[in-house]
Chains A and B, each alone.
Chain A
Amino acid sequence: MLEPYFQWMNDLAVSKAIGESIWIYPLVQAIHLLFLALFAGSLLIVDLRLMGWGMREQPVAKVARDARPWMILGFLGLVVTGMPQLMQNAMREYFSDFFWIKMYVLPVALIYTFTIRHRVAMADESRVAPAMSKLTGLASILLWIGGVAIPSRLIGLFT
Chain B
Amino acid sequence: MADLFTPLHDLFFYVSELSSSIELRESQYVWSLFEVAHVVSMCLFAGLIIMMDLRLLGIGNMQSPFSQLQKRLFPWQMLGMALSAITGSVLVFGDPMRFYANIFFWLKMLMMVIAGVNAMAFHYIAYFSVDSWDNARVPPLGAKLAGALGVALWGFVIIAGRLIPYNWFQNN
A residues in contact (CB < 8 Å) with B: 22, 26, 29-31, 33-34, 36-45, 48, 53-58, 62-63, 65-67, 69-70, 145, 149-150, 153-154, 157-158
Contacts and interface: CB of A to CB of B under 8 A. Distances in A.
Q: What interface size band does chain B fall in?
A: 35 or more
A44 B54 contact: no
Nearest to B39: A153
A29 B162 contact: yes
Interface in B145-170: 154-155, 158-159, 161-163, 166, 168
A31 B156 CA distance: 10
Given A42-B47, A70-B54, A48 B76 contact: yes
A18 to B, nearest CB: 14
A158 B36 CA distance: 12
Instruction: Give 5 nearest A-B pairs by CB, closest first.
Output: A41-B47, A40-B43, A40-B47, A37-B46, A30-B162
A42 B154 CA distance: 16
18 contacts: A26-B166, A30-B162, A33-B42, A37-B46, A37-B47, A40-B44, A41-B51, A45-B51, A48-B76, A54-B72, A54-B76, A56-B72, A67-B51, A67-B60, A70-B60, A149-B39, A150-B40, A153-B36
Nearest to B43: A40
B101 interface: no
A44 B63 contact: no
Contacts of B61: 45, 63, 66-67
B46 A55 contact: no
B162 to A, nearest CB: 4
A53 B73 CA distance: 9
Contacts, number: 108
Interface in B55-75: 60-64, 68-69, 72-73
Contacts of A38: 47, 50
Nearest to A36: B43
A126 B163 CA distance: 48
B114 interface: no
A5 to B, nearest CB: 29
Contacts of B158: 30, 33-34, 37
